[in-house]
Chains A and B, each alone.
Chain A
Amino acid sequence: MENLINIFLDSVFVGNILLAYFLGMCSFVAVSKNINTATGLGFAVIFVLTITAPVNWLIYSYLLSPGALKWAGFPEIDLSYMKFIMFIAVIAAIVQALEILIDRFSAALYAGLGVFLPLIAVNCAILGTSLFMVERNYTFVESVVFGFGSGVGWMLAIVSMAAIRMKLRYADLPKGLEGYGITMIVTGLMAMAFMLFSGITM
């Protein structure tokens, strides 16, 4: 249990998928202009990550990792190089399903997320979480917690960024620094603040 809490806290704060590993920057910069859209996308990312991480864990452990096909009678086969293409296919399928569901049940959210929903499929944070999970040899339960935690961390970052950018609208910035430039610098300052959590261990 302690281990799980540690993984959760680490993925939300210290090892924040966006602020420490720079994943999911494209949609972060594009969507953080508006706080409502940012919140919506944040929830969508949490949802997709919590599903894709364990699903990809199952696929990797029972189909792809070295010796995983023992149950089918092929103990010497190693398909782990296939993980990129399998993970991305799983993610694309789940995002597609989510898009259909949101369209059916919440027209407002669907209109708000608009073009960004399909973009979740190519959001580096989603694939990155699955790849980190493999690299760090998490178990099934750990992968669920890690997926959920990464999603929460990503949402925390994008919602705070959207709030900061709302205030920034009234700031008098030098020309050229407006827009993307200042967004990156503010993200840097936020990343510094998040690094302060690194002393915390359970």
Chain B
Amino acid sequence: MKITRTKSFRTFIDPVWGENPINIQMLGICSALAVTVQMKTAMVMGLSMTFVVSFSNLIISLMRNAIPRNIRIIVELAVIATLVILTDEFLRAYYYDISKQLSVFVGLIITNCIVLGRAEAFALSNPPHLAFIDGLGNGAGYGLVLITVSFIREFLGSGNLFGVRIIPEAFYAAGYEDMGFMLLAPAAFIIIGLLIWLQKSVIED
């Protein structure tokens, strides 16, 4: 059996592309756009998200037969909030500058629809290993969109990638100017809109 046909592989790859949480399902955009001015913050955000969603899926899936139905939301929120606190404290201890730049947005992973959505829709009805892979896939799909958006914004907006200057000084001398608009909030909305258009057109073909 080819690896692309196994259930685990499908579980991973669907949310990365065809069922992408941001572009197709429109979940979790809340925190996605504010951190995309620089690639560095976008990547840290993507990794934090992957960590939280995969482990919350794993833990909730392990407990799925023990959670009473009526109080499941609060149990899920408690698991997610604990993971987010871990992530936040870790970033604050080891990467203080990035944690300052991400400001409240790491905390907002708690209310990110992706995490609770996957817990409700997938982890509650699937075995732990599949739930974990599903979490990894969703985190990767989310991170991919973040990195694409931040690539466009940082490259056009300040001529940098990961804080390193990419566009040579000669260009600026010749009259090239950075597009300051890319660094402002509206640019993120418009780029996401165009990406959704692109991805939907490609999928339909």
Interface positions of A (Cβ within 8 A of B): 19-26, 29-30, 81-85, 88-89, 92, 118, 122-128, 131-132, 135, 174-177, 180-185, 187-189, 191-192, 195
Contacts and interface: CB of A to CB of B under 8 A. Distances in A.
Contacts of A124: 30-31, 108, 111-112
Given A92-B77, A191-B186, A25 B108 contact: no
Interface string B165-205: 00000000000000000001111111011101100110010
A184 B190 contact: yes
Contacts of A20: 185
A26 B85 contact: no
Given A131-B107, A185-B194, A192 B112 contact: no
Interface of B is mostly: helix
Interface string B60-80: 000000000000011001100
B105 to A, nearest CB: 8
A19 B190 CA distance: 12
A22 B34 contact: yes
Interface of B: 26-34, 73-74, 77-78, 81-82, 84-85, 88-89, 103-104, 107-108, 110-113, 116, 184-190, 192-194, 196-197, 200-201, 204
Given A84-B85, A124-B112, A128-B104, A22 B193 contact: no
A189 B197 CA distance: 17
Contact of B30 (A26, A174, A176, A189): A26
B116 A122 contact: yes
Given A24-B30, A122-B111, A188 B186 contact: yes
B199 to A, nearest CB: 8
Given A81-B85, A176-B201, A22 B186 contact: no
B185 A122 contact: no
Nearest to A122: B111
Given A122-B116, A124-B108, A132-B104, A183 B193 contact: yes
A22 B185 contact: yes
